[in-house]
Every structure is written in C-alpha cells, then in structure tokens.
Amino acid sequence: MQSLSREAYAAINKNPVSALNEYAQKNRMEVAFEVVKDGRNFNRPPFTMFARVGPHRFPSATSSNMKDARREAADMALRAIVGQSASGSGPTSGRSKEVFLSQPSPGSLSGVRTHFDLIAALAHHAFLQIAASIPDKFAGRKVVACIIMKASLEDSGRVVSLGAGNRCVTGQRLSMEGKVVNDSHAEIIARRSLLRFFYAQLHAHFDGQKSIFEKRNNSRRLAVRQGVSFHLYISTAPCGDGALFTPREGLNTDLSESKMEHKPAFTSKLQGILRTKIEDGEGTIPVDPSDGPQTWDGLVQGGRLRTMSCSDKICRWNALGLQGALLSHFIEPVYLESLTLGYLYDHGHLARAVCCRLQHKVDLGAELTGSFRVNHPWLGRVTAYDPPRETEKTNNLSVNWMHTDTCAEVTDGRTGACLTRTNNSFTPSRLCKAALFESFKELCQRTDREDLLHADTYSQAKQMAVEFQNAKRELFECFQKSRYGQWVSKPMEQEMF
C-alpha cells in the first residue's frame, strides 16, 4: 500500500540521503547533489546545495557545513517526492505553503488488512502531503501523530488534526501571557489542533450548519453525534510508561483484532510510575516527590522545567476526555475510540500506560461522576509494514495542522513559538494558551455566556468548569493512592493572563 510503503516510513525515520538514494535506486533514477554556494570559497559558511533526481531539480538548502547542507537538500527532495506521490501527482521541483489535502483513492486502500493499517495509512497520507508544503529545514527523524475522525462504522475516516515534533520549551521560555506552546511532542500538538477543530464545529452548530455536535435531552451540554468516533495514530510509542518497557526490537505481543480486551502488564514496581520529559532533550525520568511544586522564580533562575510524559497525558485524556477544561463548559467528554502505533508496540505495556493503571490498585472509575469515565481505547499497531529501527535524531521543529487550514504552521519546539518574527519578537502559535483562550471567549460571546465572560483570567475560566475540576482531582488522587507519584503542574503564574 502506497501510504504505508518503505518510502513513507523512510521519509519520517531514516537519514534523508540514504532514503533518497534508496528511492532513486528502486526507481532506476540517478541522484546528484549540486553546490550553489560553497562556503570554502569565501573562507566561511554557509553552504547551499540542491538535489536532482532524474530530470527533477528540487529546492536548495543552506547550512553551516557541507554535510548538513546535503542532508537538508535530500530531505527537501524526499518530502516533495513522497508528498506528491501521496497526493497522486508526480514529482515536482516547486513547493507551495498551501495545503489542499486529498483523501486516499479507494483503490489505494484496497490492500489494507486491519483497522490499524487503515488509520496509519490515512495519517501517513496526510503527513506526507503536509510535509511537502513546508519550506523549512526539517531533516531528522520525525515523530508524527494524527487524529482521525470516522462519521460511522462504515466510514474509512479522515484526518482532522496533525502534529509532528519531539521537543519542550525550557523554563526560561515560559510565558505569563500564554503565548508559548510548552509541549511540542507530536501527540500533544495533534490534540491541541483537535481543540481548534472542536471550536470550529461548535460555531457551525450554533450557526445552524452541519456539525459533529448535537443536543442531548438529558444534558445541558452538547455531545458528539452518535456514530462519530476519534482515533489517534502515533508513529512510535508515547514517551514515558508506554515506551520505557517496550522491547526495543518492536516485537508484537498480539496483533489479533478480535481481542479488544485489555491485558495490561504489571511485572515491576517501576511500571505505571508518572514520568516527566527531559528539558531540551529526549527521554523521561520518574517524578521525584522531593522536588516539590515548580515555581516561576525557580525556573527563571535556571531550574529544570518538568513536563509530564505523553503516556501520562494520554492516560489523563482517557479519564477526563480530549476536550479539556474550557470546552467542558460546552460539550460532554470526548474519548478516543482507538490508539494505533507505528513502532514499539507492546499491548501489555501500552494498555497499562494509557488507561489500565487507573483501575489496577485504585479503581478511578468508581470515583468519577457524571459523564466522566475510565476509557479503554482499542489498541493496535501497523501490520502492513514493519519499519526498521533508525538512529536519526529528531528535529527541533514542530508542525501543526487542522483539516480546514490552508497552511501548516511550523514552530520551534524549544521556544514554543513560530519561526517567523513580528517586530523583532517571536510570533505566537495558533495553539498557544492565549490563542485558544481567544477562541473560547469568541464562543462565549456567540452563545451569550456572560457568566464565563466575567472570568478574570484563563485560570479562573478553567476553574469554573467544576465537574471537570472534580474529575481531575479524583484522577490526581488516584495516581497518588496507587503510589504512581504526584502530577507535576506548571507554575500558576502562566495561567493568570
């Protein structure tokens, strides 16, 4: 299947020079790298090169040394080739920032063997087209996440949000104005992009247009229509508990679609422990009770910023929903129907990490009230192609996109802001707290929710979602009573805008 081909995985995992040469060899084409500017001739960088594959010349890339310039040029060529292949056209040397995402043709999906292969195919199909539109340097291993929405059981689905990235901001980059995206890991970005989709769908509902939301007789909040479901794809296991104990060779424990019952693995005292991401790097460490709460002045003075792992955040979504506190004023909790991994899948470890630890030592489900529950999504992995393990390091850049966007947005995961500058300062991302808070206030105005408009701060508006906050408190107590540790939050000052 084209969207799950070796080239599709190579475009996000492999050294781009090697991947481009493999593609050319397979298609009996020649690859050449030509120098536009040689820094050695001027006794200083930069170096500028472009790749030529057969008759096609691709955009040039500039870097501080010849090796990286070649690598970036190969990545630009590979993204263009694979992206154009996904969109159904041939290779082209041009590149547009606009994204007009096409759906896979019915014929291209005919070879899909499982639900999980279908979800992965849709995700890769979308990412390859979006990546082809990005002019920025993007070489390196890419962690990709997509949320696919299905309108019914028969619907093959469509990608409604996408994220790529594997970085977090440093403590010195936190913003008191909510203008920084703290966590740019792929699955976190995909979920924040989904929030933008929810806001758009709520406006459509209140404007009398077609929407995924509908009024339920027994609730003052809207709910997702019957039959609509959301499915998360991640190209590798989520960092933290879901990845730590997974066999590095990526062996499967069970690929049977008929066994939807979760069988979590609890074989070590270390399993299930809450973990935080390493600042400005990759990997996670266990939460340390002796650390205490994070303080603004401590971080400004160089303290290490602690951000909860992706496994822990997905676990949180499976208790509180994807919608978060602000949208809980308007909609019932929205839960994932399935979770698909492209690599490093182990059923027992993933099941424990993303949901089952909430009912192992302490049953959180017995404590949650209203529409909140412990959700156990259908878990699986790609079977159509088994990607090899690669040693490429990830890129600092992060990409976000939502299905009505004409352009993908590129940010620097280390700064949490767009690469472009306005008046000599970083441009805030459309996913930052301040931007989503503006969407919330616009919805409040549209629905005459004066009570919510009277909230003085972002934090107060979240605290006013009483049922959500009660459920969150029960979740955090469950972690502590289960001896998994204490959830680490950011300093309160960052939500006082």
**SS3 annotation, 355-390:** CHHHHCCCCHHHCCCCCCCCCCCEEEECCCCCCCCC
User: Is it true that the peptide bond before 46 is cis, omega within 30 degrees of 0?
Assistant: yes
Q: Give Cα separations from 363 to 345, 357, 366, 374 (angstroms).
A: 25, 9, 6, 9
The strand pair at 158-164 and 284-286 is best described as unpaired
User: Whole-angstrom Cα distance, residue 409 to residue 397?
Assistant: 10
Burial status of residue 302 (CB atoms within 10 A of its CB: 0-12, 13-18, 19 or more): exposed
By CB neighbour count within 10 A (0-12 exposed, 13-18 middle, 19+ buried), where does 366 fall? exposed
Q: What tokens were used for 82?
A: 């694979």
Residue type, 3: S
DSSP class per residue in 243-295: HHTS-TT---S---TT--S------STTTT--EEEPTTSS-EEE--GGG----
Length of the chain: 497
**Single-letter amino acid code for the residue at 491:** P
Structure tokens at 355: 């949901």
Q: Distance of CA 265 to CAs 58, 257, 336, 456, 487, Å? A: 48, 19, 21, 45, 22
- Active-site amino acid positions: 187
Task: Pick the closest to residue 82 from 124, 128, 50 (CA basis).
Answer: 128
Cα gap 239→291, rounded to integer Å = 21
The backbone torsions φ and ψ at residue 447, rounded to the nearest 5 degrees and listed phi first, read -105, 10
Residue 57 is inside which H or E element, if any? Answer: strand 56-57
E strand or H helix that includes residue 398: strand 397-402
